[in-house]
Amino acid sequence: MARIAYDAATAASFKAVREIPRGGMDAWEDAVRRHLNPSAGMTIVDIGAGTGAFAAAFCDWFATKVVAVEPSEAMLALIPERPGLRIRAGHAASLPLPDTCADAAWLSTVTHHIPDLAAAAQEIRRVLRPGAPVLIRNAFAGRYERLRIVHWFPETTRLLDTYPSVEETCEAFAAAGFAPTALEPVPQADIASLAEFLERADALRAADTLMRSLTEEEFARGKEQLRAAAAAPEAPTGADLTSSLDLLVLR
Ligand SMILES: C[S@@+](CC[C@H](N)C(=O)[O-])C[C@H]1O[C@@H](n2cnc3c(N)ncnc32)[C@H](O)[C@@H]1O
């Protein structure tokens, strides 16, 4: 069971305000390229692919084959078509794929939704070829100093602290024979100004697990601070507006 229901309304909000515009994904393209060394013909399994932003990007950037696996029908329906992209219903502990068929697994902002991470790790082991990496893009408990959402809505740490930590994630994957090889924060440029962030706040509250965890009062307080900062003459611009999630790589 995911922490929120990815129904049609949530899926539409997610597509509108959670997907990073392609121009803001450069650092992620670079990081995945460095750790995966992709080549045409490789198969990446995107687990919990959502609306397919990364699945489509991998096809476009690397010309790899991608299998997007997603449990929510509403999210899955919004995945764009691409040559080389197959879309499948399924979840992390039950992947609709044969043994040793894939060259990498990608999980983006999914690990905190998976009820049994150790079972998922075993299933990922089954479908990956020996030596293939697992790339996890996520916020982890205790590591949120570069998260914009925490800066403006600090009470989101209440829920963030219940997400699997890096240590817990490594432990779950160790039991399936994976060891960590890298951990790095990777920035994304998904907003052009604080005013834009403020504009999106209500829709984000509908589409984001962390924003949903706030009380009305906490949400209103964060928005008020954002409004004041957005109107200030020294409001941040450019790189100061980026937010980072961690990339954890295991092999
Ligand atoms: C925050 S969204 C991330 C979507 C996409 N990976 C991205 O980064 O744009 C989390 C996704 O995980 C999916 N999900 C929830 N539980 C899952 C599970 N047990 N296995 C795989 N995916 C799951 C949800 O349906 C949702 O689409």
Tell which residue, 75, 79, 107, 109, has the closest CA to residue 93: 107
Q: What share of the chain is helix, strand, coil (3-state, %, to 5)?
A: 45, 20, 35
Nearest-CA residue for atom 2 of ligand 1:
50
CATH number at residue 34: 3.40.50.150
Q: How far is the CA of 173 from the centre of ligand 1 (A)?
A: 18
pLDDT digits (tens, 9 = 90+) for 75-125: 999 999 999 999 999 999 999 999 999 999 999 999 999 999 999 999 999
Neighbours of 162 (CB within 10 A): 11
Provide the number of structural domains found in the chain: 1
CA–centroid distance, 110 to ligand 1, in Å, is: 5
Strand ranges (DSSP E) for the chain?
A: 43-47, 65-70, 85-89, 104-108, 134-138, 180-188, 243-250
Q: Is residue 181 part of a domain?
A: yes
Spatial contact of 139 and 148, defined as CB atoms under 8 Å apart = no
Going by C-alpha positions, the residue among 207, 204, 214 that lies closest to residue 4 is 207
More confident residue, 55 or 237: 55
Q: Give the integer Cα–Cα distance in Å for 200 and 13.
A: 10
Q: What is the pLDDT of residues 197-247, one digit of tens each?
A: 999 999 999 889 999 999 999 999 999 999 999 999 888 887 778 999 999
Instruction: Point out the ligand 1 atom lying closest to the alpha carbon of residue 115.
Output: 19
Sign of the Cα pseudo-torsion (74, 79, 80, 83, in order): negative
| Structure confidence at residue 237 (pLDDT) | 81
Q: Report the separation in Å between the CA atom of 71 and the middle of ligand 1, taken as the mean of its atom positions.
A: 8
Pocket, ligand 1, Cβ cutoff 6 A = 2, 6, 47-50, 53-54, 70-72, 75, 91-92, 108-110, 113-114
What span, in angstroms and rounded, lies between the C-alpha atoms of 182 and 184? 7
* pTM recorded for the entire structure: 0.96
**Residue 48: which residues within 8 A CB-CB, separation 6 or more?**
69, 70, 71, 91, 92, 107, 108, 109, 110, 113, 114
Domain range spanning residue 161?
8-190+242-250
Q: Is residue 229 in a domain? A: no
- How far, in Å, from the CA of 232 to the mean position of ligand 1? 37
Over the stretch 6-27, which tens digit does the pLDDT of each residue have?
Answer: 999 999 999 999 999 999 999 9
Q: What is the mean pLDDT of the chain?
A: 95
pLDDT tens string 230-243 = 999 888 887 778 99
Compute the distance from residue 109 Cα to the ligand 1 centre, in Å. Answer: 7
User: What is the rounded distance in angstroms from the CA atom of residue 43 to the CA atom of residue 102?
Assistant: 5
CA 154 to each of CA 121, 158, 207, 242: distance values in angstroms, whole numbers, following the listed order = 31, 8, 18, 17
Q: Which of 47, 110, 135 for mutating ligand 1's site (highest number of atoms within 8 Å of CB)?
A: 110
Expressed in angstroms and rounded, the spacing between residue 113 Cα and the centre of ligand 1 is 7
Phi, psi of 103 (to 5 degrees): -100, -5
H/E segment holding residue 227: helix 216-231
Nearest ligand 1 atom to alpha carbon 19: 9
Domain membership flag for residue 195: no
Report yes or no on 110 lying in a domain. yes
